[in-house]
Homo-oligomer: A and B are copies of this chain.
Amino acid sequence: MLYKVRAEISLKPGHSDPEGETTTRSLKELTYPVRNIGVSKMYTITLEAKSRSDAETKVDEMCKRLLANPTKDNYTIQVEQTQ
């Protein structure tokens, strides 16, 4: 079966987020009342799996092996839709 899984990779607290900081500054210059911006990456993955939990396990493994950097990234996984 095909599953659609969303994996969001964000920086661990304490790691600097230059893109977020620059975006915050730019929006403040445009007079928007922005306090803080965090930037993260979202992977929308379509994959074959035996079950919802199999899909989740596979994507968890992908995050650990390839998508997230354990020294600086957190990740969250959501199985979104079954086709």
Contacts and interface: CB of A to CB of B under 8 A. Distances in A.
Contacts of A67: 23
A11 to B, nearest CB: 11
Nearest to A9: B42
Interface residues of A, number: 32
Q: What DSSP secondary structure best describes chain A's contact surface?
A: strand
Contacts of A45: 34, 36-37
Interface in A5-60: 8, 10, 20, 23, 26-27, 30, 32-49, 58
Contacts of A38: 43-44
A7 B21 CA distance: 16
A8 B43 contact: no
